[in-house]
Amino acid sequence: MTRCLVVDPQTSGISGDMFLSALVDLADDVSHIVEIARVLPKYLNGVESIEVTDQTVTRSGIKARRVEIRLKEKVSERSLNELLAASLKLADYMGLKENLINFITKVFSTLEAAERKIHGDEREVHLHELGSADTVIDVVGSAIMLQVLNLDSTIKYSMPIAVGGGLMRFSHGTISAPSYATLEILRMKKAPMLGGPVSYELSTPTGVAILVSLVDEFVEFLPPMKPYRVGYGGGARDIPGHPNVLRIVEGELLSHLTQEYIVVLETNVDDVTGEAIGYVVDKLMREGALDVSVIPALGKKGRPAYIVKVLCPVINYERLCKVLLRDLGTLGVRISRTSRIRFIKREVRTIDLEVNGIAYPLRVKIVRDDEGRIVRIKPEHDDIVKIAKETSKPLLSLYYQVSKKLLEEWGHELY
């Protein structure tokens, strides 16, 4: 059995409190959130009191759970380092697993990277709206609930993220939705977003940072699965005619293989340099292509030509078409929609590779079947290249060393 968790923010977006509320609804247990609210003032300066309310709300006729955090604080802003330090102390107090501690760190690193990009400040990042203690509760509370539900190691999917629209006010003035930080996080992580469908802010920086730090893959539709439990997290605002609810689904995938729809883009070029094609291949991969192939061909009048073939998610194909049209100068792109089947259970592990007495981190991609057996294991090429540059060791020699280590570590699990 392969368990999975699917987050559905495509109608009402995602915020930290909505995701936390949906997890609490899934577990039907708010006691762990009450406990972290009780001890948080010991770890975060400036918090006078925290009250947790757990209630059932109705959003446009849809019943949902809403966990609200009511705070009294002496400070109006905090640094990200303060929030992270308090979060890690809370995580230790609550006995969180290492992978969930890494998840917490990843969320705050994502927020920090977005803030630095927006404000261009190399000094310690300080937050206004995000500097409240409820950011810590949203992030750490989500991690705790994932552990309580035993969902921390399951495969996690998300559908595209609704971001809303219209104007809103915050500490830097009036802006349009999504906020600068939300949009920057989506850009950094290449996460698919949907404008609208209402003129309100639907997705917040904390909610989006939690989501992109958690999910393994964004999908257009729910995967083939048996749903077991559904959690509903209500948003703060009751929007007329729009159910402001985040839905998360826990279930069992029907197969260790998954079928997904993709788009194949093709174009023929016979008047472009190899350097230009190499540049476009790199750009396509950066922009979200799943794979790019360049196939030699014979064109009109016997001219040497190339077929550039791109595989991409359905949601990205228009953007990648523009790259082909603008950067290759081709006059047209063939578009076909197809599907592919692949293994579901994929994970990335980090191991230490010892070279000249020094341990270097190396990422390893592992693919398993439905019985947990390894069907493929592959080291990250970029990591090996980096180690080769730092140690002046031949790349081929390092590959031999890595292969030996992988066989020692996982050889008994190979299919």
Tens of pLDDT along 234-276? 999 999 999 999 999 999 887 766 677 899 999 999 989 999 9
> Residue 80: its pLDDT value, please?
87
What are 72's strand-pairing partners?
49
Q: What is the pLDDT of residue 135?
A: 93
CA distance 78 to 128: 7
Tell me the C-alpha to C-alpha distance, in Å, between residue 114 and each of 120, 214, 216, 351. Answer: 10, 17, 20, 28
Beta-carbon neighbour count of residue 331 at 10 Å?
Answer: 9
CA 208 from centroid of its chain's CA atoms: 8
Superfamily in which the 345-413 domain is placed by CATH: mk0293 like domain (3.10.20.300)
Cβ 36 vs Cβ 89: under 8 Å? no
pLDDT-derived band at 169 (thresholds 50, 70, 90) equals confident
Q: What is the pLDDT of residues 329-351, one digit of tens each?
A: 999 999 999 988 777 667 778 88
Counting Cα atoms < 13 Å in the Cβ hemisphere of 252 gives: 6
Predicted confidence (pLDDT) per residue in 57-74, tens digit:
999 999 999 999 999 988
The dihedral built from the CA positions of residue 308, 384, 153 and 30, taken in this order, carries a sign that is negative
Task: Label residue 159 by pLDDT band (50, 70, 90).
Answer: very high
In the beta sheet, which residues pair with residue 264?
311, 336
CB contact at 8 A, 64 and 238:
no
Question: Which residues are CB-contacts of 187 (< 8 A; sequence separation ≥ 6)?
Answer: none
Structure confidence at residue 121 (pLDDT): 63
Those residues with Cβ within 8 angstroms of residue 56's Cβ, 6 or more apart along the chain or in another chain: 63, 64, 65, 66
Q: What is the number of H-type helices and E-type strands within the chain?
A: 11, 20
SS3 content of the chain, % helix, strand, coil (to 5): 40, 35, 25
Nearest to 158 by CA among 218, 202, 102, 113: 218
Band of pLDDT at residue 384, cut at 50, 70 and 90? very high
Residue 224 has a pLDDT of 83
Q: Is the pLDDT of residue 90 over 90?
A: yes
Portion of the chain with pLDDT greater than 90, in percent: 63
The token pair at 20 is: 């936390």
pLDDT of residue 125: 57
Q: What is the mean pLDDT of residues 75-91?
A: 89
Are 8 and 246 a contacting pair, CB within 8 Å?
yes
Query: CB neighbours (10 Å) of residue 361?
Result: 12
Tell me the C-alpha distance between 210 and 61, whole Å.
Answer: 27
- What is the arithmetic mean of pLDDT over 15-24? 98
Task: Tell me the CATH architecture of domain 259-343.
Answer: 2-Layer Sandwich (3.30)
Residue 157's identity, in one-letter code, is Y
User: What is the Cα–Cα distance from 218 to 221, expressed in whole angstroms?
Assistant: 9
Q: Is the pTM of this model over 0.75?
A: no
**Average confidence (pLDDT) over 187-213:** 93
Percent of the chain whose predicted confidence (pLDDT) is above 70: 94
Q: What average pLDDT does the structure give for the chain?
A: 90
pLDDT-based confidence at 375, cuts 50/70/90?
A: confident
DSSP state of 131: G
d(C-alpha 395, C-alpha 370), whole Å: 34
Q: Is 381 helix (H, G, I), strand (E, B) or coil?
A: helix
Q: Name the pLDDT band for 168 (thresholds 50, 70, 90).
A: confident
Span 185-202, average pLDDT: 92
With a cut of 60, say whether residue 34 has pLDDT above it: yes
Using the predicted structure, report yes or no on whether residue 126 has a pLDDT greater than 70.
no
Cα three-residue angle 231-235-238, rounded to 5 degrees: 120
The helix (run of H) or strand (run of E) holding residue 55 is strand 47-59
For the cut 90, the answer to whether the pLDDT of residue 174 exceeds it is no
Residues of the chain with CATH 3.10.20.300: 345-413
Give span(s): CATH 3.30.70.1380, the chain. Answer: 259-343
CB 292, CB 310: distance < 8 Å: yes
pLDDT-wise least confident of 127-131, 345-349, 367-371: 127-131
Burial 174-194 (b: 16+ CB within 10 A, else e): eeebbbbbbbbbbeebebbbb
Question: Any idea what DSSP says for residue 157?
Answer: E
| Statement: residue 217 has pLDDT above 90 | no
Q: Which of 188, 93, 68 is nearest to 143 (CA)?
A: 93
pLDDT, mean of residues 25-40? 96
What is the reported pLDDT for 142? 98
Residue 307 has pLDDT above 60, yes or no: yes
